[in-house]
Amino acid sequence: MEFLENFSFLWDSVAFFFTGDGWKNLVMLAVGALLIYLALAKDFEPSLLMPMGLGAIVVNLPLSGAIGHAADGSQGIIDWLFKVGIEASEALPLLLFIGIGAMIDFGPLLSNPKMFLFGGAAQFGIFLTVAVATLLGYNFTDAASIGIIGAADGPTAILVANVLETPLLPAIMVAAYSYMALVPIIQPAAIKLVTTRKERMIRMSYNPAAVSRKTRILFPIVVTVIAGLIAPKSVSLVGFLMFGNLLRECLKLDNLSQTAQTSLANLITIVLGLSISASMKAENFVKLDTIIVMALGLVAFVFDTIAGCLFAKFLNIFLPEGKKINPMVGGAGISAFPMSARVIQKMALKEDNQNHLLMHAVGANVAGQIGSVVAGGIILTVVPKLIGA
């Protein structure tokens, strides 16, 4: 009998799910399982959704040792990772940017610089979503944090939402990564909404100009200085992204470049996914706000794409026949790289099997990488000023 009493905590654990708000933890276990299913069975951003899914299960088990408990003053490893790596320093998302920068070849953009414009236009969804969120009653900082889902860039979304100290951080993180995985479904629908078949069949010749090594080396430095002068808060984001790119392009630090692209990026991804799950505790996540944030995130992605397409159509008014831009390329100006460029290439080939837009779309897509971090920096610069903080 005494033996059984020693194991009575097992019964307490099971009973926990069925008393008070315990059902919310049960819901989170299901959410965790769903994320793992989407990651492994549907191949949706597996490197992040899998750690997040298992993390969601770990932090929502009753009396989980992975999270801190005020009652006994304990500090679990996942809470510690979140506090040190994200909350206190934003180190994890920023370090991930070094890896991302080292992975990106800006060549297609440097040889066709007008694609930079699409990297700007396709950030419109961010700001439109901020406005929509305020109309729904969210305060300005929460609305700005929701809007940044439209950056289509997980680390930027995490960093901005964390700096703005929104309680909606977990929903924003899940939305940001989920929608990135859903780009192949969201973008074609949004593009078809605002383009005709004739427009989608516009062919664009690709005659890339040679890009010198000097240009490739000076480019990350120039971008950091310009972005830093106009949006000072973007320096950490842009600077780390461009540092990674400089490692790649200088050709003197191949070992460091390879490490940034592989070991560093992989390590940070593993730790980041688990750290994020600290904010997926049932009491923070199972609420109506999460569903609204997910819906607003979709609005942001859709209007990013639409704005990119419409901007290309606007430019076409002034461009002569033969120089017109396929509006789908504008839609690739979001930051989801390289998924968005691939989607555009696939759509172009579906309409006309000889229309190869991949390199144009890649140019717009990498411009979107820069555009999204600049948008994040602008939000971090402007929002505190507007609220007088």
Partner 1 sequence: MMSAVMNALLLMLLGMVGIFTVMILIMISVNILNKFAKDKDNKK
Residues that bind partner 1 (CB under 8 A): 109-111, 113-114, 116-117, 119-121, 123-124, 126-128, 130-131, 133-135, 137-140, 143-144, 209-215, 218-219, 222-223, 226-227, 230-231, 367, 370-371, 374-375, 378-379, 382-383, 386-387
Minimum distance of partner 1 from residue 325's CB (angstroms): 15
Are the C-beta atoms of residues 25 and 17 closer than 8 Å to each other?
yes
d(CA 50, CA 184): 20
Q: Which lies closer to partner 1 via its Cβ, residue 20 or residue 137?
A: 137
Are the C-beta atoms of residues 95 and 236 closer than 8 Å to each other?
no
d(CA 220, CA 213): 12
Dihedral of CA 98/293/161/91: which sign?
negative
Q: Which lies closer to partner 1 via its Cβ, residue 69 or residue 323?
A: 323
> Rounded to the nearest 5°, which phi and psi values hold at 101?
-60, -40
Minimum distance of partner 1 from residue 117's CB (angstroms): 6
Q: Which lies closer to partner 1 via its Cβ, residue 58 or residue 242?
A: 242
Q: Which lies closer to partner 1 via its Cβ, residue 200 or residue 216?
A: 216
Minimum distance of partner 1 from residue 230's CB (angstroms): 5
Q: Which lies closer to partner 1 via its Cβ, residue 131 or residue 291?
A: 131
- Cα 238 to chain centroid distance, Å, stands at 15
d(CA 123, CA 119): 7
Q: Which lies closer to partner 1 via its Cβ, residue 71 or residue 209?
A: 209
Helix, strand or coil, per DSSP, at residue 186: helix
Q: Nearest 10 degrees: CA dihedral of 262, 268, 274, 277?
A: -120
Minimum distance of partner 1 from residue 375's CB (angstroms): 6
Residue 103 neighbours by CB distance under 10 Å: 17
Minimum distance of partner 1 from residue 28's CB (angstroms): 30
Minimum distance of partner 1 from residue 297's CB (angstroms): 16
